[in-house]
Amino acid sequence: MSRQVFFSFEFKKDAWRAGQIRNMGKVEKSSTFSDNDWEEVKSKDDETIENWIDNQMRMRSCIVVLIGETTYSRKWVLYEINRAYELGKGLLGIYVHGLEDSNGEQCSKGKNPFDYVKTDEGEKLSKYVTCYDPPYLRSKNVYADIEGKIEDLIEEAINNKDY
């Protein structure tokens, strides 16, 4: 069963990698807003961006953070993780550094962004959230691995919210 998910990622560096995952056809089509939507929204003030994120998140059962080299430090990614936690959504991280970008380049593995968000009890959210790291080096193998596992990872994130 395809789920409605919210993809969170660093737009500037990882939009191409995110596009590969969004286009796998493993989640509901309505989960995938266009890059143009984000381009338009990100030029607005913080309140408008927060409202857009909140509206998108309300319709989703899970947030999937696509973790690239510097995703952990992005203001809006951290906001999205916090908001999903507050709303009791499923949370999942998938490392995407092994996927090639539009220039055929891979990047270094980034830090876990869930280390930078705390639970209500003050613990790092990373204690409770799975961050899947494909065990392959070649981009096509990383892609195939994610494609084969993403649906189960999403279901697990939705069903195992221990935070």
- pLDDT tens-digit map of 90-142: 999 999 999 999 999 999 999 999 999 999 999 999 999 999 999 999 999 99
Q: Are 147 and 55 in contact (CB under 8 A)?
A: no
Q: Are 159 and 88 in contact (CB under 8 A)?
A: no
Rounded to whole angstroms, the Cα distance separating 57 from 142 reads 27
Kindly write down the DSSP assignment for every residue of 81-93, as one continuous string.
HHHHHHHT-EEEE
- Could you tell me which residue, 37 or 125, shows the higher pLDDT? 125
In this structure, the chain runs to a length of 163
Stretch among 26-35, 55-64, 67-76 having the lowest mean pLDDT: 26-35
**What value does the mean pLDDT of the chain take?**
91
Top-tier CATH class for 5-159: alpha beta
